[in-house]
Amino acid sequence: MTLLKILTYATLALMKLPPVRPAVGRRISLELYSARPLTWLGPIAATICGALAADGVALSGETLLRVAIAVLLTDPLLGAWRAAWVNTDWRRPMQGWQATPTRAWMLVPYARLGSPAARFSQWLSSRAKFWREAIAPQVGQSITAILVTALMALSVALVLGSSVFLLTLGALLLAPLESELGENGAGRWARAFAEIGLAWLIGDAAISLVLPPLDSTILALLFATAYRGLISVPTRPRLGLAIANTAQGLVIVFLALRGAMVNVTIIALLLGAQLLWQTLLRDGRAEARVYLSRAQWFILAAMALAALALPH
């Protein structure tokens, strides 16, 4: 489990079949468990900050309910969708598979060999055998997880409105993109924009019921970029810190241009505290894990202050 994974992490899988399969019973089992190690910077925090950007600290029963539903969407549901894509080796079914069409495969056994009916039957039968012997045993659980979580996520998104539905469609596209680009490579950008950027925008749209305005979108993208930098700190600390610091510096500039000087001052102090911790990291006197556990609180505070600085 990666360091920056947030509280709840969901996996959907087919139930393990007992020695004797029951005649009736549920087909799909949903398992929810807490991520390890426990961290706070992630989709939940971004969703709440998006809600703050939309409505400030004005609380009501309906607002709290909509925020709770948005958190359910952005963390466990979209987290399960991402896990199904990223944690699955989609090339494995092709390894070692050899299609050896024979007459026994034919769906129409009485068709004359070489005829169009025989060729189509062999083609269709070989695909069925490939699904049965290669795909289903190795990636069948992930396919089930993808289908079920997509259905659940889109259903929850519809409850929150058409704007959230559109943003959820975008979030669903980022997980296969991350899987294709590589979880530890360029795919980190897709992960960051899904877990922070789109989570922020979904939280905003869940409260405002419209697509987020430009200023909220800019902050969501900047903090997603900062998150992208933190993801790289354990493996490429200099690059990761440079990305995170640049993104937070741009947040300060953006808010200063909007005249939110009190918020800007506090966020600048929070960035300064991070820079002090970074000197320990660069000198080898602090591990990346220790730095991230401290830095996340400064960035969380900066996200909340930036969200409150927007006009409501």
Q: pLDDT at position 99, please? A: 58
Per-residue H/E/C for the chain:
CCCCCCCEEEEEEECCCCCCCCCCCCCEEEEEEECCCCCCCCHHHHHHHHHHHHHCCCCCHHHHHHHHHHHHHHHHHHHHHHHHHHCCCCCHHHCCCCCCCCHHHCCCCCCCCCCHHHHHHHHHHHHHHHHHHHHHHHHHHHHHHHHHHHHHHHHHHHHHCHHHHHHHHHHHHHHHHHHHHHHHHHHHHHHHHHHHHHHHHHHHHHHHCCCCCHHHHHHHHHHHHHHHHHHHCCCCHHHHHHHHHHHHHHHHHHHHHCCCHHHHHHHHHHHHHHHHHHHHHHCCCCCHHHHHHHHHHHHHHHHHHHHHHCCC
Averages of pLDDT over each 10 residues, the chain, 312 residues: 37 41 65 62 94 86 94 94 88 66 53 66 71 74 90 96 96 93 86 96 95 96 96 92 97 96 97 93 86 92 96 78
Q: pLDDT at position 14, please? A: 35
Q: pLDDT at position 112, please? A: 63
pTM of the complete model: 0.83
